[in-house]
Amino acid sequence: MGKTELFLLLSAFFFMAACGGTGTEAETWRMTELCFESASDYSTGGGDRLRMDVRFVHGQDTLVRPAFWDGENVFRVRFAPTKAGKWTWTTTCPEDASLDSH
């Protein structure tokens, strides 16, 4: 397992833990932040123009939130569940494969 995969796995764990419950249940309207590391360093430019979305799904409900560049190779997304319970998430970033389909 590479550094990026481990980081994403830990991010998912902290996402679930930050939302309360047993680590798998989200609390309604409690904001959490996910952090993703790209394999590319955008310090010299381009990170602010990169489009990355995170799709959150709970049953039939789907919310899409844009991620934002936070310097170097770090991208973040903030999300507050509209319903309690288990949410899953998937990233979309066609321009950077290391940020896509997590």
Q: Which domain holds residue 66?
A: 3-96
Residue 17: which pLDDT band, with cuts at 50, 70 and 90? very low
Residue 30 inside a domain? The answer is yes
CATH number of the domain residue 44 falls in:
2.60.40.10
Give the CA distances from residue 94 to residues 34, 46, 98, 99, in Å, rounded to whole numbers and listed in that order: 19, 14, 9, 8
d(CA 37, CA 48): 14
Closest CA to 56 of 82, 29, 30, 89: 89
Residue 50 inside a domain? The answer is yes
As for how many domains the chain has, the answer is 1
Residue 18 inside a domain? The answer is yes
Q: Over the stretch 63-82, which tens digit does the pLDDT of each residue have?
A: 999 999 999 999 999 999 99
Residue 101 inside a domain? The answer is no
